[in-house]
């Protein structure tokens, strides 16, 4: 198994990237750390579909590599795909964050009667970001059992990274309509749409324009895995630039489960030619404001 002693050579360019922008580092809101058994299953799934995980390393090595690259704050996103697992996942991710000052305390939930109680428990333990994966979870975000959870998170002002787009494969409840109805009921919700909402870029961008607290994360966007810019509607690019400068686009990477070096995400964003102010906002300021990083 590879170790942090042999990371992708290209990642040595990451510190120069953020230093050239005058930043203290990077804030990445879309990073995964999972309990060992769950992580093995996730990686086995990727193996079965021919997806090469670049950073298939032990937790300590991945933490060290993030630090070496200058990722000063990152999440440990987990997501439940069946009942009776979210509470234990939250205990694990919150314990992980407690042992790692750079890790933003992270949690998840699932439509089940116990969800409000364990979400409250996670908030009391300091959770500052949640994750929901509509595709993997296979549930409707409009489920009545989730309504009090959405309301509680909206009231608390805690962001939720939501994988709601239909990429890479559509699910029964993916796409903009289900999440759009949630936002209509809870317009104060701080939803962060993963992967810019791929492939329904237009509809999810419009949510970010319509709702004060909706943002987009850049995870895998504009990399070779997502078709670079040819898959993104050209007329949306000026609007995406405006949203980034307005605080509504944040850096996400999907580390470690990406089939290319971390620097590729940064190069892809720089390749948009939106300017240094946009990169500074997306790679540090917007994410820092979202998860409460002060320095």
- Domains of the chain in sequence order: 9-291 (3.20.20.140)
Residues in the chain: 295
195-232: per-residue pLDDT in tens?
999 999 999 999 999 999 999 999 999 998 765 556 89
Residue 3 has pLDDT above 70, yes or no: no
Q: Is a pLDDT exceeding 70 seen at residue 259?
A: yes
Q: What is the pTM of this model?
A: 0.96
**Mean pLDDT for the stretch of residues 98-104:** 97
- For 24-42, the three-class secondary structure string (H helix, E strand, C coil) is CCEEECCECCCCHHHHHHH
**164: preceding bond cis by omega (within 30 degrees):** no
Query: For a pLDDT cut of 70, what percent of the chain falls above it?
Result: 97
Cα dihedral across residues 110, 203, 31, 242: positive or negative: negative
- DSSP class of residue 284 equals I
Residue 220's nearest CA partner among 159, 288, 278, 165 is 165
Kindly state the percentage of the chain with pLDDT values over 90: 91
For residue 165, give the nearest of 203, 197, 210, 119 by alpha carbon.
Answer: 197
Query: Mean pLDDT, the chain, as a whole number?
Result: 95
- Confidence band, pLDDT 50/70/90 cuts, at residue 7: confident
1 confidence band (pLDDT: 50, 70, 90): very low
Assess whether pLDDT exceeds 80 at residue 262.
yes
Residues with Cβ within 8 Å of 218's Cβ and at least 6 positions away in sequence, in order, are 196, 249, 250, 251, 252, 265, 269, 282
User: Widest CA span of the chain, in angstroms?
Assistant: 49
Of 95, 85, 82, 74, the C-alpha closest to 30 is 74
Q: What mean pLDDT do residues 91-103 have?
A: 98
Please state, as a whole number, how many other Cβ atoms lie within 10 Å of the Cβ of residue 213.
18
Residues 18, 9: Cα–Cα separation, whole Å: 17
Q: How far is CA 173 from the centre of its chain?
A: 19
277 three-class SS: helix
**pLDDT (tens digit, 9 = 90+) per residue, 137-187?**
999 999 999 999 999 999 999 999 999 999 888 999 999 999 999 999 999
């Amino acid at each position: 198994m590879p170790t942090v002693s042999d990371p992708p050579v290209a990642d040595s360019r990451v510190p120069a990237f953020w230093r050239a922008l005058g930043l203290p580092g990077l804030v990445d809101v879309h990073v995964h750390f999972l309990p060992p058994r769950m992580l093995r299953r996730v990686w086995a799934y990727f193996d079965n579909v021919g997806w090469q995980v670049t950073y298939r390393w032990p937790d300590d090595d991945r933490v060290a590599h993030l630090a070496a690259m200058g990722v000063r704050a990152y999440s440990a996103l987990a997501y439940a795909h069946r009942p009776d697992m979210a509470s234990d996942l939250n205990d694990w991710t919150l314990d992980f964050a407690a042992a790692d000052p750079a890790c933003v305390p992270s949690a998840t939930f699932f439509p089940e009667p116990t969800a409000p109680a364990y979400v409250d428990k996670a908030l009391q333990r300091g959770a500052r970001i949640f994750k929901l994966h509509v595709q993997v979870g296979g549930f409707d975000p409009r489920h009545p059992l989730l309504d009090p959870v959405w309301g509680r998170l909206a009231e608390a002002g805690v962001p939720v990274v939501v994988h709601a787009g239909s990429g890479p494969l559509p699910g029964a409840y993916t796409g903009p309509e289900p999440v759009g109805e949630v936002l209509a009921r809870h317009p104060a919700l701080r939803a962060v749409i993963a992967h810019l909402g791929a492939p329904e870029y237009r509809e999810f961008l419009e949510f970010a324009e319509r709702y004060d607290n909706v943002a987009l994360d850049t995870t895998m966007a504009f990399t070779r895995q997502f078709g670079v810019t040819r898959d993104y509607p050209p007329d949306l690019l000026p609007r995406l630039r405006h949203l980034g400068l307005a605080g509504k686009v944040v850096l996400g990477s999907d580390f470690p489960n990406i089939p290319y070096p971390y620097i590729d995400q940064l190069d892809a964003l720089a390749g948009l030619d939106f300017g240094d102010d946009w990169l500074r906002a997306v790679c540090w300021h917007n994410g820092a404001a979202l998860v409460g990083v002060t320095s």
